[in-house]
Each structure stands twice: as C-alpha cells, then as structure tokens.
Chain A
C-alpha cells in the first residue's frame, strides 16, 4: 500500500471538493435562475468534462497552464514555479474535470426549490444572498451533498487528467489510481490488488452512506 499516494489523493480530493463548493454554489445558482438566452453555452461548457476523453481535457489544460500561456506565466510570476507537474497543477485540472459532478446536482436541486419559498423570504425582508443561504441552500442539502460526494469520489478515481498535467511524481502528483497503474506495469499485482480493493470499498461505502442519508433527508 502506497501511503504517500493515499495521503496525496485524499488531500487532492478534499481541496477539490472544498473549492468546488465555493465556486460551484454561485455558478449553480446562476444556472438555475438565469434567463439569459445564451445560458446553454455555459451549461455546455460545464458539462463538457463528462464526455471529453480525460486525455483531451488534460492536453488542453497542460497547454493552457504551461509556461507559454498567460495563465501559466501569471502563476509562475506569482509563485516562482510552473503549474504543470505540481500539486497545484493537478488541483486545477481536477477542479475543471469535476465541475459537472458538483454543479449539475447543485443546480438541479436549486431549480427544484419551490419558487414561492424564495419569494416569501424576499417579502420577509431578506436580501437575495440571505435568502440563498437561509432558504435555498438548506432546502437543497441533499443535492449539495450528492454533488460534493460525487466530486470527492470522482477525484479519488481520476486518472487521465492527473497523468497528463501532473506526470507521475511520487509525493507530488502520484495519486492512488496512478499507483495502481504503476504497480501493474511493474507486474506487482499484489500491491495493485490491495490498492484497488481499498478504492472499491471506498466507492461502495461512500455511495451507501449517501443514498441512505438522502433517503432519510427525503422522508424527514
């Protein structure tokens, strides 16, 4: 069992989930409520990682974050190190490719909140932001939890994007799924089986807990 890889994977998944919570809630709120006629463009971009091969996504991110791109140069000027082949680099990649896993459940649950409850809150003197925090978010907790769990679990299992942007550097960008690949390449099936079992159990337990909680939340 590669403990360094496990710790790195958990860190990556936690950071990705936390940042997606902060970025995803306002974006999902906008998607659920906006009447802009070109909203479908944003929706398509958000959903793109669902169907793009991770290698394609990873390739574009590598180019976009590299030292020849404005983003890459800005980051290097700011921190002194480039984005690709670092933890920050795979974190950015991970956030982008998990966007739909967080934003779509968020937006779906926001859209299902009874419009009149939101209006009732406005009429009780609450601003749009306070209404969002006091009415929309609590009533969407099942959808928000689903989005977070999906992003976390999907980050743990992400392979292509991490490999393209991060390479496979132990302790820096080598996550559990990369470790399994390495073990198989090295014909160390025992290690690969161990790690795979851990990931399988993790996925199963997470989904069981989520569905059980959702059922409770729905009947409460």
Chain B
C-alpha cells in the first residue's frame, strides 16, 4: 500500500463561515495539487491547517502512518514536527539574516560542514550564488521568491506547501517562473500542495485541482477534467476558461502554432516557444457562432459542429457544441433568437488565432 496524505477537516472562525476541506494525495513521489478559488474562499486556511499553523476543530490529517491531527482524540502535531516546507505569499524572509543564513535557517540541527554544503547546493540550484551575502531587502521580487523556495526545500521536507507562489511577482517574471517552477519542483520528488487564485497557474503547475469557494470544495479532480468539464456555472466562472482541450503542437512558424485537437487543426498565436502536448484554452466568449454559408472572415479557425445543449444564464446563453470534441460558446440571447438555433442544428464555430491560449501539458 502506498502512503497517502489524507485530510478531512473543518475550521471554524468566529463570525465567519466555516472552512471544510477533504483532500487526498500520494505522500511519496512528485505530484502537485492546486487549491484554486477566489480570495477569502478559505484556500489559505486549508494550507495553514496542513502546516499546523491553524488547528481545525473537527476532522483529521494523516500523512502516511503518522497522524498530524485528530480533533476527536486531541492529537495535534505542531508545525515544527511535521517535516514540511511552507512558502508564504510574501515570502516572510528573515530581514536580519543574509540569503545564505535564510536558506540554512532550518538546517540548524546538522553539523556545520553539511549545512554549508547543502546551502551551497540550494543556492546553485536556484541561481542565487552571487546573492549569498546579501540581505533580503536588497533582492528583487523574483530573487526573494527563489530564496524563500530554497529555504523551504533546503531541509528536504516531506511535503511542500506553497501559498500563492507567483502572485507577488510582476507579469514577465511571473510567466518565466511559472514555466520553470514545475520542472524545478519535480527534482525534489515530493508531494506539493499550492494555493492560487490564478487558473493559468493551477493549470500549468498542477496534476489535480480542488476548486474552493466560500469555504467549501466545489469540485476536485485531475486538472484537465476540472478545467474541461466544470461541474457548475460557478466553477466555470472560477476557472475562467471553460474550453480546455487536449492538443498536440504539430508545428510553429512565424509565431503561429498549428495544434491538432481531435481531428481538427487549430491555428494559435504563441508568445513563447511551445512543443508537444498542450492544453488548448479557449474562453467561451471568444467563440463566435455562424449559421449558414461562411462569409469571408478574419477568424482563422472554422469548426463545423452540432449544438448539443443550450443553457440560459441571465442575458447570456451557453451553447455547447460537438465539433468532434466538446466546445462551449457564450452568446447573447438576442443573437440566439436571430439565428434561431436549436439543439441538433449544425453551426460553425469561429475562433481567432489570438483567442487560443496554449499551456504546456
């Protein structure tokens, strides 16, 4: 039997809603679970409870054979004895210590020589060698983030917890680190739980996604499934993109990628090099529907399909199409009435190449 991290608990706040969570993940080997949701939705409480920084009133947390929390029996292991790594949203670096002292902070139990070697290893891995003697306030946001990660990983934790790992960074640094983070974490071969409000972050970093809203988990499952098949409208809104299709890049030329999705080939604008398996993300409001003969159009992607279902949502209608794969479009009610589209009707979906977003899979 493989060891698992298993947590089911409830944390109550005075005057606020309770946070309920249920989570299961292998306790060994590399895997990433992302807890996705709006701020104030209880995600950080879940992460803090796993760390032992909050003590839920009900439930249990088990890590392999160890019990970290068993509210009914009064068992509670303090954070210092859980063997975890925790990265805070604003990094929480020690301002009175240098970069290497920060990274070595958790290694105080090991002999000086081993500690120095480990700190050196971590600084090299994070490309922080030149910063060793500096203080945190002398570093850029991206460098601080790497110090915080190095500090959390230096003592070889058994579980890594990341609170909004990229949200304190500016745009370009963030995109760059988002690409680097997963391969980097993979080297440590440990389970990772991260919290984010950014669905692209969840999709590009995680294997499994838990969507949380107002203290409850509204959906959980493999990333592709949660993004591809939101269980409800509220989840669909939280994950932002409703159309997440599995695709394979067939070629890139002059900034345009040809992606195979099912039998169809789509053209997408790419800002950074991509290859191989990708998630093809299309927001439903970016899908135009056309009935009858096709006009000359600037949209590069034309997908013939059949209307599977219509769901009215206020002034908008969500139209689900079968184009060989499932595609959702959002159009206005007057548009629907003008086109007189019904279920089983044939339509063509038009998507501009700029509206298709590719994420490595």
Q: A residues within 8 Å of B by Cβ?
A: 114, 116-117, 119-128, 130-131, 134-135, 138-139
Contacts and interface: CB of A to CB of B under 8 A. Distances in A.
Contact of A123 (B53, B95, B109): B53
Contacts, number: 58
B85 A123 contact: yes
B155 interface: yes
Given A119-B79, A123-B84, A114 B92 contact: yes
Specify which of B83, B92, B106, B155 lies most central, judged by the most chain A CB atoms within 10 Å of its CB.
B92
A114 B88 CA distance: 12
B204 to A, nearest CB: 25
Contact of B105 (A114, A116, A119, A124): A124
19 contacts: A116-B92, A121-B105, A123-B51, A123-B53, A123-B79, A123-B84, A123-B85, A124-B105, A124-B106, A125-B81, A125-B109, A125-B155, A126-B80, A126-B105, A126-B108, A128-B80, A130-B108, A131-B80, A134-B105
Contact of A125 (B80, B88, B96): B80
Given A117-B92, A138-B96, A123 B86 contact: yes
Contacts of A116: 88, 90, 92
Given A124-B106, A124-B151, A126-B106, A135 B80 contact: no
Which A-B residue pairs are the 6 nearest by beta carbons? A124-B106, A123-B86, A116-B92, A120-B92, A122-B79, A122-B80
A133 B95 CA distance: 15
Q: Is the interface of B mostly helix, strand, loop or mixed?
A: loop
Interface residues of B, number: 24
A116 B95 CA distance: 12
A142 to B, nearest CB: 11
B40 interface: no
B53 A119 contact: yes
Interface string B46-69: 000001110000000000000000
Contacts of B85: 123
Contacts of B94: 117, 120-121, 135, 139
Interface in B142-167: 151-152, 155
B222 interface: no
Nearest to B96: A138
Nearest to A121: B105
Contacts of B96: 138-139
A64 to B, nearest CB: 39
Contacts of A139: 94-96
Contacts of B152: 123-124
Contacts of B88: 116, 119-120
A126 B94 CA distance: 14
